[in-house]
Amino acid sequence: MNRILHGAAPLLALGAVACDRPNPNPSPSPSKPQAAPAIAAKSIMRPAIQAEAAPVTAAPAAPTIVTIAFAYEGYALDDTARARLDRLAQASTTATATSIVIRGHTDASGSDRANLRISMARAIAVRDYLAAAKVRVPMTLVALGERRPVRPGATPDGADDPAGRAANRRVEITLR
């Protein structure tokens, strides 16, 4: 035991000497806090690898919405509607779309059941026309009937508003 303590004596002496020396890096006084030095972050990856690993932060494109108007009764496409659908079928946004939603609408005249049938028939007519024009994007059909009018079908005094009702007879095509 004496031998172990005797061998440890030089180490204890060094420790005692080290405690008596002043600290070369004194800690800051509590009254003056010091900010940590700013160190610029630097990646260890090669720039080419960093470029490949960089996250894509581009915002998604806003959906394209095209409206097709319909006559008072029925679901037949007129010349204006067919021309508009032809332009849509040839547009680059249609070729790059991942999905198309076709929503059929009617005005408030007629029963709810009849309006739902007509709105679905209008959506089907548009889908079939786009499919015949070689649009190969998944299409979803939605029949809304008179549920989402864009204009009132009557004036504030309760009189019929033919222009308002006509605006509600439509199909909205949304490309995403």
Q: What is the DSSP string of 118-144?
A: HHHHHHHHHHHHHHHTT--S-EEEEEE
d(CA 151, CA 163): 9
Residue carrying the six token digits 């509590």: 30
So where are the chain's domains?
66-158+171-175
Q: Name the β-bridge partners of 172.
A: 67, 103
End-to-end alpha carbon distance in the chain: 85
Give, in order, the Cα–Cα distances in Å from 155 to each of 73, 102, 109, 115, 159.
21, 29, 15, 21, 5
- Give the three-class secondary structure for 52: helix
What number of residues does the chain have? 176
Residue carrying the six token digits 């090669």: 46
Class of CATH domain 66-158+171-175: alpha beta
pLDDT mean values, one per 10 residues, the chain (176 residues): 53 52 57 63 66 64 92 92 97 94 96 96 98 97 97 94 96 97
pTM metric for this prediction: 0.66
